[in-house]
């Protein structure tokens, strides 16, 4: 039988060099690179840049901000509804094919936005976009990372999700300038092209469905297996399946806190540009505030991921929530020159609540065995919050003539969400300890 790698051997030792590199660099890190590029294009285009369109499209088409902001709600609500199904699809079918199909669908939907002229057209296309976005969001990426990593999982996720921060840092000012100098139609076309140009090649040439397809084990699996005899009875190693999780009150309280995270994160992100220009800052300055936030979030995701790996979810989410409260406080005082950049610093760390905190807390609380199915349900709550955050901020603005009450609300919800998380974590720890004691 010809072994993998034999065809690479020649008299110059090319095959030996190739095999040594394979031993040195686990292919899981190539999966991280592919996931980074997916986040760079898809999450940037489908989440982080859509808020830029609220004010210019509303003014150009004669919509109120609250009316138009609902199109983003249609995207996230649809993504929410398909999340459990998408978790099943990712678990059963080849991940490469899922990413390819979803990239073609979501990229095409963004191109279609450029041709919309009425609210109902925006909303119909938004539903289509939301269906395919479900295969390119944080749930999808966290599922494939969990499949390839046992150790350093939070760090790997953090590196992958840093792609969305870099993408936002690059494309927020670009999209703002395209809208200002050309049109919002061209800006939608640029975002659609971004997904197609980046994600399609990644799905074809970089992604692999699982380590077993390459004759590998997940990164860190050997170390965990060596330690298994000593740790198998510990509560931290116990995994909960979806049916059991759904019967636990701690799961539903955890899901509620994820709803608050989504509501807060989206309610702020989608209205930063509009808020800054309302305060009298230029479009360029407003875009720079978002870009600086995303630049800081790039490093923050990696730092927070390492924090999760080193100290666990309770410490990690506490730090992130504190930054969210500080970010909301800075928004209230952003009329003071310089304060918007203090907001950028705080929100750069707080923004990781959507991409790092939720998936890693799910893995920590319920284990890896049924991760995709459980996180698919969690994402329903996270996406529901994200879908309601943008129109809630718009409605508060329309009613109060200011975003100030929204920022105060989101600061309070951050404190409430953290409290619920800590209670849920303590409850799950006691539950798993009781299971470990019974075995």
Range name among 13-22, 104-113, 211-220, 282-291 with the lowest pLDDT average:
13-22
Contact status, residue 139 vs residue 379, Cβ threshold 8 Å = yes
How many CB atoms are located within 10 Å of the residue 344 CB?
22
Question: Tens digits of per-residue pLDDT, 75-132?
Answer: 878 888 888 888 888 878 899 999 999 999 999 999 999 999 999 999 999 999 999 9
Whose CA is closest to 46, among 192, 207, 204, 263?
Answer: 192
Q: Which alpha helices (DSSP H) does 93-137 contain, by range?
A: 95-113, 119-133
Give the per-residue pLDDT at 412: 95
In a domain, 50, yes or no: yes
Euclidean distance between CA atoms 387 and 395, whole angstroms: 13
- Looking at residue 235, its pLDDT comes to 53
DSSP 8-state class, residue 8: G
CA pseudo-torsion sign 14, 15, 18, 24: negative
List all residues 6 or more positions away from 332 whose beta carbon is below 8 Å from its beta carbon. Answer: 404, 407, 408
High-pLDDT (> 70) share of the chain, %: 91
Domain count, the chain: 1
Domain with 81, as residue range(s), is: 24-219+230-433
Is 5 domain-assigned? no
What is the pLDDT at residue 368?
74
Task: Supply angle C-alpha 359, 365, 366, rounded to 5.
Answer: 90
Instruction: Extract the tokens encoding 60.
Output: 């150009």
Phi and psi at 132, nearest 5°, equal -75, -25
pLDDT score for 420: 94
Q: Kindly tell me if the per-residue pLDDT of 436 is higher than 80.
A: no
Lowest mean pLDDT, pick from 134-148, 212-226, 249-263, 421-435 = 212-226
> From the CB of residue 292, how many other CB atoms can be counted at a distance below 10 Å?
19
Q: Is-contact 116 348, C-beta < 8 A?
A: no
- Whether residue 261 lies inside any domain: the answer is yes
Higher-pLDDT residue of 192 and 335 is 192
pLDDT (average), residues 350-368: 85
Residue 15 has pLDDT above 70, yes or no: no
With cut-offs at 50, 70 and 90, classify the pLDDT of residue 14. Answer: very low
d(CA 331, CA 353): 18
Whether 16 is in a domain gets the answer: no
Q: How far apart are the C-alpha atoms of 161 and 145, rounded to whole Å?
A: 11
Q: pLDDT exceeding 90 applies to what percent of the chain?
A: 38
The span from the CA of 264 to the CA of 383, in Å, is 11
- Least confident segment among 21-35, 180-194, 264-278: 21-35
65-92 vs 95-113: helix crossing angle, rounded to 10: 160
Q: Is the pLDDT of residue 251 over 90?
A: yes
Whole-number pLDDT of residue 439: 66
Instruction: Determine which helix (DSSP H) or strand (DSSP E) holds 435, and give its type and residue range.
Output: helix 404-438
Residue that wins the pLDDT comparison between 249 and 3: 249
Mean pLDDT value of segment 295-299: 84
Evaluate whether residue 290 is within a structural domain. Answer: yes
The predicted pLDDT at position 372 comes to: 78
Q: Give the lowest-confidence range in 42-56, 315-329, 336-350, 425-439.
A: 425-439
Give the distance from CA 96 to its chain's centroid. 19
pLDDT at site 16: 47
Per-residue pLDDT tens over the stretch 320-336: 999 999 999 999 999 89
Q: Which long-range contacts (CB under 8 A, 24 or more apart) does 71-74 make?
A: 71/119, 71/122, 71/123, 71/126, 72/126, 72/266, 72/270, 72/387, 72/390, 72/391, 73/387, 73/388, 73/390, 73/391, 74/123, 74/126, 74/127, 74/130, 74/387
pLDDT of residue 377: 87
Average pLDDT for 424-428:
90
Q: Is residue 119 part of a domain?
A: yes
Has residue 31 been placed in a domain?
yes
Mean pLDDT of the chain: 85
In this prediction the pTM is 0.74
Binned at pLDDT 50, 70 and 90, residue 369 comes out as confident
CATH number of the domain at 152, please: 1.20.1250.20
**Mean pLDDT to the nearest integer, 183-189:** 95
3-state helix, strand, coil in the chain (%, to 5): 85, 0, 15
Q: Distance between CA 383 and CA 134 in Å, rounded? A: 10
Where do we find the tokens 């995303």?
A: 294
CA distance 396 to 199: 36
- 69's tokens: 């902001």
Can you read off the two tokens belonging to residue 404?
């100030």
Q: How many CB atoms lie within 10 A of CB 27?
A: 16
pLDDT on residue 29: 93
Q: Is 12 a domain residue? A: no
- What gap in Å lies between CA 373 and CA 364, rounded to an integer? 15
């Amino acid at each position: 039988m010809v072994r993998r790698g034999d065809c690479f051997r020649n008299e110059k030792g090319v095959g030996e060099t190739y095999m040594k590199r394979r031993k040195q660099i686990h292919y899981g890190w190539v999966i991280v690179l592919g996931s980074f590029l997916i986040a760079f294009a898809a999450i940037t285009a489908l989440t982080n840049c859509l808020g830029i369109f609220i004010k210019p499209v509303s003014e150009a088409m004669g919509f109120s901000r609250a009316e138009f902001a609902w199109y983003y709600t249609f995207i996230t609500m649809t993504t929410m509804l398909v999340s459990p199904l998408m978790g099943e699809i990712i678990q059963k079918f080849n991940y490469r094919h899922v990413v390819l199909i979803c990239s073609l669908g979501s990229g095409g939907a963004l191109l279609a936005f450029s041709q919309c002229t009425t609210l109902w057209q925006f909303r119909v296309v938004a539903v289509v976009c939301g269906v395919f976005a479900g295969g390119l969001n944080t749930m999808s990426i966290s599922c494939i990372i969990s499949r390839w990593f046992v150790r350093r999982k939070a760090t790997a996720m953090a590196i992958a999700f840093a792609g969305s921060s870099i993408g936002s840092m690059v494309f927020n000012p670009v999209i703002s300038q395209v809208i200002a100098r050309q049109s919002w139609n061209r800006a939608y076309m640029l975002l659609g092209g971004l997904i197609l140009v980046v994600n399609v090649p990644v799905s074809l040439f970089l992604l692999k469905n699982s380590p077993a397809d390459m004759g590998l084990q997940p990164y860190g699996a050997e170390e965990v297996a060596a330690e298994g005899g000593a740790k198998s009875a510990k509560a931290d190693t116990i995994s909960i399946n979806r049916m059991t999780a759904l019967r636990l009150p701690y799961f539903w309280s955890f899901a509620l806190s994820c709803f608050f995270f989504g509501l807060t994160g989206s309610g702020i992100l989608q209205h930063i540009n509009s808020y800054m220009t309302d305060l009298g800052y230029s479009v360029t300055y407003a875009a720079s505030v978002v870009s600086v936030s995303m630049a800081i979030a790039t490093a923050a995701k990696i730092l927070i991921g390492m924090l999760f790996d080193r100290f666990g979810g309770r410490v990690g989410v506490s730090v992130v929530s504190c930054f969210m409260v500080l970010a909301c406080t800075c928004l209230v005082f952003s009329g003071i020159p310089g304060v918007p950049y203090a907001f950028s610093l705080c929100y750069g760390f707080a923004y990781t609540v959507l991409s790092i905190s939720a998936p890693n807390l799910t893995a920590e609380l319920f284990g890896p065995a049924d991760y995709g199915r459980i996180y698919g349900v969690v994402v329903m709550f996270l996406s529901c919050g994200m879908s309601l955050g943008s129109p809630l901020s718009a409605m508060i603005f329309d009613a109060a003539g200011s975003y100030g009450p929204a920022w105060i609300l989101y600061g309070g919800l951050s404190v409430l969400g953290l409290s619920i998380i800590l209670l849920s974590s303590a409850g799950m720890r006691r539950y798993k300890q009781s299971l470990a004691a019974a075995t």
